[in-house]
């Protein structure tokens, strides 16, 4: 089936992650720096005129029947009222349950691609409202720039980061975000950080406060960090794990991955490959 659009969906790393409190509705208030990296999924889209939506997994990693991509496509149909549909093929490369935002990134790329494929012309603000209902990280990927993120993920301030390389390690075991955020031992009272403090040391600032709980729930997280440490690298976990990463100095490399682990050297991205795909002004909305 011919794909009219072939679009990337890059992963992200959390350079740090603090929890500063909790809302009455139970949502945690976060501070983090999200950085795009060149580890990505690829989504292929073909328009259907009968309104049907379908998804096909092209790789070994299989997604749930009602994954975020189909939910994003369905939500965009409902928001826009379009009678069009699509067949979506996914080459899944970003590991699941890794804290790298793969599902959210796929959903964002789906919204951006279908907004074009269906000629909807919906502005970025409307796509973000749809995205936030799908997941807290989706608006970040829609904005398409490295960012200082606060609130529950909806307060996004663009960041400029120097080019750098990272060793990213995904051990075999994964972690469910819900289990970590519901853990009684989770630290929820981090001091409020400021961007200027982060900017002075962007790749060594703060901590990931989810890491101690993650190590308790998933010993593979600790093993991966120890493996990085054995090579003289200072690692930390990204998001809710179980992937970890470490900054590499120029010319520095990492050893061959232990069996069943995924180890990849990644560079950071200045912007998302699809940045600017949605209009930023509400007056640009099409019919």
- DSSP characters over 66-92: T-HHHHHHHHHHHHHT---EEEEEEE-
pLDDT number for residue 279: 86
Q: Is 100 annotated as a binding residue?
A: yes
Catalytic residue (one of 12, 41, 92, 170): 12
Is the per-residue pLDDT at 77 higher than 90? yes
pLDDT tens column, 133-175: 999 899 999 999 999 999 988 899 999 999 999 999 999 999 8
Residue 170 appears among annotated catalytic residues: no
CATH hierarchy code of domain 165-267? 3.30.70.890
204 is in an annotated binding site: no
Residue 283 banded pLDDT, cuts 50, 70, 90: very low
The CATH class of the 5-159 domain is: alpha beta
Residue 63 pLDDT level (bands cut at 50, 70, 90): confident
Reported pTM = 0.93
pLDDT classification of 286: cutoffs 50, 70, 90: very low
286 or 231, greater pLDDT: 231
| Residue 51: count of CB within 10 angstroms of its CB | 11
What residues does each domain of the chain span?
Answer: 5-159, 165-267
Residue 281 is predicted with a pLDDT of 60
**Who contacts 279 (Cβ-Cβ below 8 Å, separation ≥6)?**
121, 122, 123, 124, 285
Residue 78 has pLDDT above 80, yes or no: yes
Percentage of the chain modeled with pLDDT above 90? 80
90 bridge partner residues: 43, 57
Provide, rounded to the nearest whole percent, the portion of the chain with pLDDT above 70: 97
Residue 284: per-residue pLDDT: 35
Whether 137 is catalytic: yes
Position 277 confidence tier, pLDDT thresholds 50, 70, 90: very high
96: annotated binding-site residue? yes
Answer yes or no: is 251 a known binding residue. no
**Residue 97 labelled as part of a binding site:** yes
Half-sphere exposure of 271 (CA within 13 A, CB side): 6
Mean pLDDT score of the chain = 92
What is d(CA 85, CA 114) in angstroms, rounded to the nearest whole number?
A: 9
Position 154 scores a pLDDT of 85
pLDDT over 80 (residue 183) = yes
Confidence band for 100, pLDDT divided at 50, 70 and 90: very high
User: Among residues 41, 137, 170, 220, which one is catalytic?
Assistant: 137
Burial class (CB in 10 A: 0-12, 13-18, 19+), 201: exposed
């Amino acid at each position: 089936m011919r794909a009219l659009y072939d679009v990337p969906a890059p992963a992200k790393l959390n350079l740090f992650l603090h929890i500063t409190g909790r809302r009455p509705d139970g949502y945690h208030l976060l501070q983090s720096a999200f950085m795009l990296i060149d580890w990505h999924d690829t989504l292929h889209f073909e328009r259907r005129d009968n309104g049907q939506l379908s998804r096909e997994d092209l790789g070994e990693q299989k997604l749930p029947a009602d994954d975020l991509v189909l939910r994003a496509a369905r939500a965009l149909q409902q928001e826009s009222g379009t009678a069009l549909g699509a067949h979506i093929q996914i080459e899944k490369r970003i590991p699941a349950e890794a804290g790298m935002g793969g599902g959210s990134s796929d959903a964002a790329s789906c919204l951006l691609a279908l907004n074009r494929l269906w000629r909807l012309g919906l502005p970025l603000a409307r796509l973000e409202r749809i995205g936030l209902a799908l997941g807290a990280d989706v608006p970040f990927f829609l904005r398409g720039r490295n960012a200082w993120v606060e609130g529950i993920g909806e307060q996004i301030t663009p960041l400029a980061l120097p080019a750098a390389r990272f060793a990213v390690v995904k051990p075999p075991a994964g972690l469910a975000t819900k289990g970590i955020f519901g853990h009684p031992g989770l630290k929820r009272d981090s001091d409020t950080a400021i961007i200027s403090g982060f900017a002075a040391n962007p790749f060594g600032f703060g901590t990931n406060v989810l890491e101690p709980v993650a190590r308790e729930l998933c010993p593979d997280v600790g093993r991966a960090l120890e493996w990085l440490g054995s090579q003289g690298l200072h690692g930390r976990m990204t998001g809710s794990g179980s992937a970890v990463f470490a900054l590499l100095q120029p010319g520095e490399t990492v050893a061959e991955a232990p069996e069943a682990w995924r180890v990849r050297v990644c560079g950071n991205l200045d912007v998302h490959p699809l940045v600017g795909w949605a209009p930023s002004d509400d007056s640009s909305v099409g019919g």
